[in-house]
Amino acid sequence: MADRSPAPDTPELRERWGSFEFSPAYKAKADTAIARYPEGRQRSAVMPLLDLAQRQVGEETNTQGWLPLPVIEYVADYLEMPVIRVLEVATFYFMYNLQPVGKYHVQVCGTTPCMLRGSDGLLETCKKRGMVKGHVSEDGLWTLTEVECLGNCATAPMVQINDDNYEDLTPERLDHVLDELAAGRQPKTGTQEPGRHTSEPVGGPTTLKEMVTENHDYRGEW
């Protein structure tokens, strides 16, 4: 379980992030998110606003982004809600980083289905590249986190890296994905199993086969 404590509130942190505010582009997105809720319920937008703030911090630091305390305070102020309420949300959900991370946040699922299908080997692959859980690698490229089930058990083992999932992994396949990212290229996302489209049975579907190529209407055949 990763540490969910906010980064220490230091003068350096205040100096760097104390004047944070949404850029015009992010402000437009934030206001769109708030407008989805009824008047007086703007606090309901706290999750998208934290996500947007993290993404802007990411752009400014060339990382996946994280949430320094002054940025969390900014979001609280933007939504006119107590800072502690925003902190409760930010510390609860793993999608928010509470410490600086690398350009790529490698989240390896270690829950039972992924573990039985080889997640230990994936963690080894990451460690061989110098990744240490909860730390930014020396080259600034990687942060490694072991997480609980990310909902891709049918294509286990899997890893989430920033906004993308990579599934049906082996150590060699993960090595290839990491090589591509390190080289500045976008690897194929989703399943890495040759011939597999999404999470259908390996070897092809066994039922509803006509649905593979078209939106087949089975109703007359029941």
Question: Would you list which residues are annotated within the binding site for [2Fe-2S] cluster?
Answer: 109, 114, 149, 153
Name residues contacting ligand FES, limited to 6-25 (CB under 6 A).
none
* 109 is an interface residue for ligand FES by CB under 6 A: yes
153 binds ligand FES (CB under 6 A): yes
Segment contacting ligand FES by CB under 6 A, of 22-30, 55-63, 107-115, 177-185: 107-115
* CA-based R_g, the chain, Å: 20
One-letter amino acid at 31 equals D
Q: Does 158 bind ligand FES (CB under 6 A)?
A: yes
Question: How many Cβ atoms are within 10 Å of 108's Cβ, its own excluded?
Answer: 25
Chosen residue from 152, 160, 191, 192 binding ligand FES by CB under 6 A: 152
How many CB atoms within 10 Å of residue 165?
Answer: 17
Work out whether 111 is an interface residue with ligand FES (CB under 6 A).
Answer: yes
Nearer to ligand FES, 42 or 152 (CB): 152
> Which residue's CB is nearer to ligand FES, number 61 or number 162?
162
Which residue numbers belong to the known binding site? 109, 114, 149, 153
Sole binder of ligand FES in the list 150, 159, 169, 177 (CB under 6 A)? 150
Least separation in angstroms between residue 97's CB and ligand FES is 20
Query: What are the DSSP calls for 42-107, one per residue?
Result: GGGGHHHHHHHHHHHHHHHHTSS----HHHHHHHHHHTT--HHHHHHHHHH-TTS-SS---SEEEE
* Closest residue by Cα to residue 66 from 33, 103, 34, 31: 103
151: left (phi over 0), alpha (psi -120 to 50) or beta: left
- Contact between 105 and 64 (Cβ < 8 Å): yes
Per CB under 6 A, the list member of 76, 106, 156, 181 interacting with ligand FES is 156
**117 - beta bridge partners?**
none
**Which residues contribute to the site for ligand FES (CB under 6 A)?**
109, 111, 113-114, 149-153, 156, 158
